[in-house]
Amino acid sequence: MGCIQSFRQCCDRPKNTNVRISLPAVCFVWQIAMIILFGIFIRYDQQSDAHWIEYRKSQNISSDIENDFYFRYPSFQDVHVMIFVGFGFLMTFLKRYSFSAVGFNFLIAAFGLQWALLMQGWFQSLDPMDGKIKIGMESLINADFCVASCLIAYGAVLGKVSPVQLMVMTLFGITLYAVEEFIILNLIHARDAGGSMVIHTFGAYYGLSISWMLYRPNLDRSKRLNGSVYHSDVFAMIGTLFLWMFWPSFNSAITNHGDGQHRAAINTYLALASTVLTTVAISSLSQKAGKLDMVHIQNSTLAGGVAVGTAAEFMLMPYGSLIIGFCCGIISTLGYIYITPFMEKYLKIQDTCGIHNLHAMPGVIGGIVGAITAAAASEGVYGKEGLINTFDFKGDWKDMVPTRQGGHQAAGLCVALCFGVGGGIIVGCILRLPIWGDAPDDNCFDDDLYWELPEDEESIPPILEYNNHMQNRDATESDFSMEQSQN
Amino acid sequence: MGCIQSFRQCCDRPKNTNVRISLPAVCFVWQIAMIILFGIFIRYDQQSDAHWIEYRKSQNISSDIENDFYFRYPSFQDVHVMIFVGFGFLMTFLKRYSFSAVGFNFLIAAFGLQWALLMQGWFQSLDPMDGKIKIGMESLINADFCVASCLIAYGAVLGKVSPVQLMVMTLFGITLYAVEEFIILNLIHARDAGGSMVIHTFGAYYGLSISWMLYRPNLDRSKRLNGSVYHSDVFAMIGTLFLWMFWPSFNSAITNHGDGQHRAAINTYLALASTVLTTVAISSLSQKAGKLDMVHIQNSTLAGGVAVGTAAEFMLMPYGSLIIGFCCGIISTLGYIYITPFMEKYLKIQDTCGIHNLHAMPGVIGGIVGAITAAAASEGVYGKEGLINTFDFKGDWKDMVPTRQGGHQAAGLCVALCFGVGGGIIVGCILRLPIWGDAPDDNCFDDDLYWELPEDEESIPPILEYNNHMQNRDATESDFSMEQSQN
Amino acid sequence: MGCIQSFRQCCDRPKNTNVRISLPAVCFVWQIAMIILFGIFIRYDQQSDAHWIEYRKSQNISSDIENDFYFRYPSFQDVHVMIFVGFGFLMTFLKRYSFSAVGFNFLIAAFGLQWALLMQGWFQSLDPMDGKIKIGMESLINADFCVASCLIAYGAVLGKVSPVQLMVMTLFGITLYAVEEFIILNLIHARDAGGSMVIHTFGAYYGLSISWMLYRPNLDRSKRLNGSVYHSDVFAMIGTLFLWMFWPSFNSAITNHGDGQHRAAINTYLALASTVLTTVAISSLSQKAGKLDMVHIQNSTLAGGVAVGTAAEFMLMPYGSLIIGFCCGIISTLGYIYITPFMEKYLKIQDTCGIHNLHAMPGVIGGIVGAITAAAASEGVYGKEGLINTFDFKGDWKDMVPTRQGGHQAAGLCVALCFGVGGGIIVGCILRLPIWGDAPDDNCFDDDLYWELPEDEESIPPILEYNNHMQNRDATESDFSMEQSQN
């Protein structure tokens, strides 16, 4: 810990936020690297290659509709919307950071999904025949999932890092994700349909650890910008709703064809519905006049979807899903009220979007629920074939039994936690180097550092500034106003 | 009528808008009730249960793609978007009521869909073998449909009721819906694919009757807030467009597999296209300078989708759909211009969103069109099997003929009307009790009653207020501005 | 050229922007014409007619899931979202033109799709048996595609034309589109899955030619309105993201069932991801302080989707898609920086949205890429059946070989270019007639001409105007402010 402290100090030098060299360099070099690696490694899989028609006939598949595209594409598009509009707009709630929220989310997701196709491919779908990675619709969904973990981490550091730091964070995040996913799903054989452990727990602790490493003692100098305005809260609701509505697709996107996808969607739908009511209840209870807080509505209403992730394809029963949602709405909202301020004050973890309440806690709960429900699974409930099918007790794992599966689930959760915390600390160290162009403490949460902003009336802090500080205004602004007044 | 008047007076007491006890209580108690009832009654159906794999083999179903999930899930997600983003954002047009519009819409929809699964399950899919309700994708769509009727009703009372009243309104609305739906679809055997009668007519008259019961003679005291600003109108267009685009999914979501879904989507697509043109025409004609009115564009463009609902799966022919859309665009826009002010002035019905023009009239038209087109159906047009299939002339109804079906359709419309008006009056009585925390007449359409609002410049009415009332401004606000001006 | 100049002068008369007669007249008359033509010509196709059930049995189709609806409907809905929300919101970036952007987009798309069903039907799906056009899901997607070309053209003239001009532009645009599409796809037998040539090249040059014909030398009089404000840029990002996310559906919507749709979606997904990184790189490089420009992020990130359109269903290989996206991000962003100002200054083409950079150049690149990759196709890569299937070397074209196909692709690109430029000049002439109600030069980009605007604070240009020009303010405005200040 001492060495971390001293490392911290050595990195605290004056800030230069100009990213004109570093950002284009990172984008160009990495994109060219992607092209080269894709050229060497990535090819279409059986279902998307032009040889499909011959393959289909050789396998006696009666119709094109059995191409995996038709099983997964609608879910894929919903997940895609969650990644780009959902996560992007959820973070637009800050009054002057909407461009960065939605723009950098766009940038790192677009990079991350390419890198994820490679990393996940090397670990999971390398064809032993020709050494190539074969991609299809399921790979694309998995890449989007992988990206989600990094976007969750972005939520913790929103407003405090430069786009170059975000790119670095994504590069390492995706890499760590691919490794922990391989360990959890393949080596440990845990099931994690909606990624409560693999995506949410890992992503959230990864982001929180980075935020802890990048702790800014003087962040309150940017307090004026760390809040919402009326319209920015409405924009954020677009993100919330698209996440909420499409979460059933997220949790069912890569589950088994047939009843697996069907059941995962139903469970998620119910858990989310239940979460909304308890979130509203706690939010109203927590305020003197019973008024609701937009922060809770925007975030905690989603906690049920996170927590039901691992167990979404299990026979949770509809009431089981409701119970999970019920608890998570309460816990997540209480988190915003008590835990986030506590963490900032005592643990030195500044969590801009409150991902600890939305992803970390519900993710861990999801992992635990998964372990319990897996351990409790029985042939009576699932049917003999249903049990084998749902838990994939096939091949090397054909001797597995539900109780042992429960243990493996718990082990998987621990791995996700360790990778999140450990990886986050290491990457946090790297991001503390004073070369990345991050914002000074008094200019966090400000789009002006990285974006050409339109000169609109809203960007001029109002009335009083004008009357009291006329003399301080720079020439451009006055010219602009003059021009307007003459038209 | 006299007793209604005296009841009205007895309920007009001073208002207390604090919902800190009532709202959390309602949310918690009802959610717990849901969990208990779901525990007792609700299970997965054949298609979403883990026994599906065994069922599939026993039925010689060749592929998982024939699971109902793949027939209905894309439509379900579109309907889901309509419910949460469509209805939610459509109501954000008010300048200071966007939080409530989208937030309370979210709350009551999340509660309503749980209650709808139970109510509709008891009436329609109780398994006689084990007394359980079996749910699958179609149930979820039906629950969303059921919720839609309550969200329509919300449109009439937008800005004038508390969240607790909305919850009560939803509880009764869903209950009434399930009953009238059972009567119309099962007992009367009317067809109503897109719910012109069951959803729109019922929902609209339910809302209008409640609004009539809750008449506020002094509502013009809130006139300053009963209007839009530029950006709020753009937000509302998000709602309009998602409703408009996904309406073909709404009308085709639960129609027959194959040509039924296909035809319903085409008919709805065409009717909506036609409506846009006549709405624009009438809107432009109605203004001195030919300028368009956003209220019309946001609402009346959707009327064609409502009116084509009942008949969407019939052989309307493409031009038939265009004609329906053509008429409804005209009628709905004229409704906004003439009927809404008339109703407010003479009938004492204050209809914030104009649901009479968007849902009530087009819904009734849709019911009538359904009756006529059903009566006119023939084997020549539908084919022998097509006719039986489309109108479900099977089982108990195998002796039904198209002309009689027309009569049944008309009967269904009457039932929907009666339930809407009758139910609305009764529920309106309940909502007049002075315990629900609704807004006083001079503070309607104001988010500030139920939401913690950000302190943004936009919430301070501009310039003149500052210059004239400097002395009145409270300390916090000035500190805030000072702080801003110094940075 | 001399005659064009003199024609230009004769049309420059004072402007009357009242469209109260012309707009309703156009809407009514054309909609009635649509109804009549639909009545004469349009019927349901085999898949959407009630006779489907009999047809299915006669063809031994085992399940309703093989109805084309289930292959195409999810893609159709995504395309629909791109047309109405994607294109509509992409153009809301102007500070006071959001109503027109999203509203007129809505109007012309709703008209255009009806006319497109007729025009494309006459050329491509007239049933020789009964002289009727048979429509199904694929026709609806094609109609949306056809409309896209006109919405692209709208981008060039955004803010400078009246809704009546837009309707005329759409009428002719759809007509020209149907002809060039027939020539390119049917007579020349070029392949163009995502319409790089047919949609983007044609649409962009059509719009640019019209803009050239409608050149306004004094457009800088409206300079104050030709820019964005903070929130309008966030609205525009909604459009960008929905276009970006759903572009894989656009390019795969009408490709072959099975691997064709699958591969087109993957290629487009990758090309778009790559484009984002190079757009960000060039945007940052182009500014002094390395700041990003929202115009580039909103537009150039989409260029990869345009450029991969023609070749989306070919065996481009994943790295091939990345390379296309890589180049287009660079070219498109450089276009915004250098070419758009150049075109405005020297070529007298005012291109409001920069469609030359987003659609024209990438469209042409897409056509060239299509020609090269088609010419390079081989049985080794595609498989014997795959090659025939992908390039449709069947029927009259069964002797076609890839190298010749490459030539046909190039010919197709030329046809699209000629139709775009030629058609645009002719239609531009028509639109110069002084009867259409377009805006005067000092009031372009202003919603106030065609819309009833809410009287919100934001519409009053701020502070300075108030202080300096109190005397000029009209009575209504002051009354309004007074009223507000008293509440």
Q: DSSP string spanning B33-71?
A: HHHHHHHHHEEE-TTTSTTHHHHHHHTT---GGGSHHHH
C258 with A80: Cβ contact below 8 A? no
Q: What is the C-alpha to C-alpha distance for residues B72 and B142, in angstroms, rounded to an integer?
A: 11
pLDDT level of residue C398 (50, 70, 90 thresholds): confident
The CA-to-CA distance between both ends of chain B, in Å, stands at 63
pLDDT of residue C475: 36
d(CA B477, CA A302): 33
Rounded to 5 degrees, φ, ψ at B438 are: -80, 170
Contact criterion met (CB below 8 Å) for B31 and A326:
yes
Residue from A258, A278, A225, A255 nearest A93 by CA? A225
For residue B288, the 8-state DSSP code is: T
**Amino acid B474: pLDDT:** 39
Cβ contact, residue pair C323, A35, below 8 Å? yes
**Are the C-beta atoms of A160 and A344 separated by less than 8 Å?**
no
pLDDT over 90 at C458, yes or no: no
When CB atoms are compared, the residue of B35, B54, B163 closest to A323 is B35
Most B CBs within 10 Å: which of A61, A240, A269, A458, as the mutation test of the B interface?
A: A269
Q: Using the beta-carbon criterion (under 8 Å), do C318 and A238 form an inter-chain contact?
A: no
Q: How many domains does chain C have?
A: 1
pLDDT at position C8 is 55
Chains that touch C (3 or more CB pairs under 8 A): A, B
Separation between Cα atoms, residue C406 and residue C404, nearest integer Å? 5
Closest-CA distance, B295 to chain C, in angstroms, reads: 10
Span B418-439, pLDDT tens digits: 999 999 999 999 999 888 888 8
pLDDT band (50, 70, 90) for residue B74: very high
The single residue listed with the structure tokens 């954000």 is: B92
Give the confidence band of C206 by pLDDT, cuts at 50, 70, 90.
very high
Are B48 and A259 an interchain contact pair (Cβ–Cβ within 8 Å)?
yes
| pLDDT value at C478 more than 80 | no
Inspect the interface and report whether the beta carbons of C450 and B292 lie closer than 8 Å. yes
Q: Is residue B457 part of a domain?
A: no
* Cβ contact A461–B463 (<8 Å): no
Nearest CA in chain C to B233: C99
Q: DSSP H helical segments within A125-229, as ranges?
A: 137-157, 163-181, 202-213
- Residue showing tokens 């899903």: A321
Which of C16, C26, C51, C228 is the best substitution to test chain B (most B C-beta atoms within 10 A)? Answer: C51
What percentage of chain B reaches a pLDDT higher than 90?
71
CB-side neighbour CA atoms (13 Å) of A204? 22
Are B278 and B330 a contacting pair, CB within 8 Å?
yes
Give the least confident one: A374-383, C82-91, C463-472: C463-472
The CA R_g of chain A, rounded to the nearest whole Å, is 24
Q: Are A308 and A268 in contact (CB under 8 A)?
A: yes
Subunits adjacent to chain A (3 or more Cβ pairs under 8 Å) = B, C
Has residue A7 got a pLDDT over 60? no
Predicted confidence at residue B3, as pLDDT, reads: 56
d(CA A166, CA A157): 9
Average pLDDT rounded to a whole number, residues A334-346: 93
Any idea what DSSP says for residue A135? E
C170-195: average pLDDT: 95
Residue with tokens 């936020």: A17
What pLDDT, in 10s, does the model give residues B118-170? 999 999 888 888 999 999 999 999 999 999 999 999 999 999 999 999 999 99
For B142, the enclosing helix (H) or strand (E) is: helix B137-157
C207: in domain:
yes
> In this predicted structure, what is the pLDDT of residue C2?
53
Rounded distance, CA A337 to CA A254, Å? 35
CB C336 within 8 A of CB C300: yes
User: What letter would DSSP give residue A134?
Assistant: E
CA–CA dist C448, C461 (Å, integer): 14
pLDDT at C463: 38
Residue A67 structure tokens: 């191409």
Averaged pLDDT for residues B262-274: 95
Residue B162 lies in a domain: yes
Q: Does residue A461 lie within any of the structural domains? A: no
With a CB-CB cutoff of 8 Å, which residues 233-292 of chain B face chain A? 235, 238
Instruction: Say whether residue B385 is in contact with chain C using an 8 A CB cutoff.
Output: yes
Q: Which of A228, A278, A291 to mutate: most B Cβ within 10 Å?
A: A291
- CB pair distance less than 8 Å for C294 and A64: no
pLDDT at C300 over 70: yes
Phi (first) and psi of residue B131, to 5 degrees: 70, 20
pLDDT at position A79 over 80: yes
Residue among A47, A78, A408 at smallest CA distance from A254: A78
DSSP labels, B365-429: HHHHHHHHHHHT--HHHH-HHHHHHHHT--GGGTT--HHHHHHHHHHHHHHHHHHHHHHHHHHHH
For the cut 80, the answer to whether the pLDDT of residue C36 exceeds it is yes
Q: What is the 8-class DSSP label of residue A128? A: T
Question: Are residues A49 and C231, on separate chains, in Cβ contact within 8 Å?
Answer: no
| CA-wise closest residue to C291 among A297, A392, A19 | A19
Residue B14's CB is within 10 A of a number of other CB atoms, namely: 6
Distance CA C73, CA C57 (A): 22
Q: Nearest-CA neighbor of C191 among C315, C73, C292? A: C315
Candidate from A6-15, B219-228, C145-154, C181-190 with smallest mean pLDDT:
A6-15
| A399/B5 Cα distance (integer angstroms) | 74
Alpha helices in C217-311 (DSSP H): 230-252, 259-285, 294-299, 303-307
Nearest-neighbour CA in chain B from C8: distance (Å): 27
Q: Which of B457, B353, B367, B371 is nearest to B408 (CA)?
A: B371
Decide if C20 is inside a domain: no
pLDDT for B187: 94
Q: Domain limits at A37?
A: 26-455
CATH of the domain at A131: 1.10.3430.10
pLDDT above 70: residue C121: yes
Choice between A478 and A278, residue whose per-residue pLDDT is larger: A278
Q: Chain B: nearest CA to A428, how far in angstroms?
A: 30
Which pLDDT band, with edges at 50, 70 and 90, does C477 fall under?
very low
DSSP A292: B
Alpha-carbon distances of A411 from A195, A199, A371, B420, rounded to whole Å: 14, 15, 9, 55
The answer on pLDDT for C192 being more than 50 is yes
Angle between helices C259-285 and A22-41 (to 10 degrees): 160
- Flag whether C418 is in a domain: yes
Question: What is the percentage of chain A residues whose pLDDT exceeds 90?
Answer: 71
Q: Which two tokens stand for residue B378?
A: 């023939």
Length of chain B equals 487
State chain A's mean pLDDT as an integer: 88
Give chain C's mean pLDDT.
88
Q: Do the Cβ atoms of B262 and C39 come within 8 Å?
A: no
Residue B6, domain member (yes or no): no
Q: What is the four-CA torsion angle of B29, B35, B38, B40, rounded to 10 degrees?
A: -90
Give the H/E segment covering residue A44: strand A42-44
Most confidently modeled range among B5-9, B52-56, C83-87: C83-87
Range among A219-228, A327-336, B12-21 with highest mean pLDDT value: A327-336
Q: In this structure, is the dihedral angle defined by the CA atoms of residues A102, A103, A106 and A112, taken in order, positive or negative?
A: negative
- Contact present, B232 and B92 (Cβ < 8 Å): yes
Terminal Cα-to-Cα distance of chain C (whole angstroms): 62
Q: Kindly state the average pLDDT of the residues B386-405.
A: 90
Residue B201 lies in a domain: yes
ipTM entry: 0.90
**Confidence band of A26 (pLDDT split at 50, 70, 90):** very high
Asked if C50's CB is within 8 angstroms of B259's CB, the reply is yes
A365 or A20, which is more confident: A365
Q: Are A19 and A437 in contact (CB under 8 A)?
A: yes
Structure tokens at B477: 């606000």
DSSP letter (8 states) at residue B14: -
| pLDDT at residue number A443 | 87
Q: Please calculate the CA angle A371-A376-A381 and round it to the nearest 5 degrees.
A: 130
Q: Is the pLDDT of residue B405 over 80?
A: yes
Segment A252-307, tens digit of pLDDT: 999 999 999 999 999 999 999 999 999 999 999 998 888 999 999 999 999 999 99
Share of chain C above pLDDT 70, in %: 91
User: B292: which strand partners?
Assistant: C451
Question: Could you give the count of Cα atoms lying within 13 Å of A451 in the half-sphere of its Cβ?
Answer: 26
Q: Is the pLDDT of residue A460 over 80?
A: no
- Say if residue A441's pLDDT is above 90: no
DSSP annotation of C185 reads I
| Coarse DSSP helix, strand, coil percentages of chain C, rounded to the nearest 5 percent | 70, 0, 25
Neighbours of B390 (CB within 10 A): 24
Distance CA C331, CA A87 (A): 29
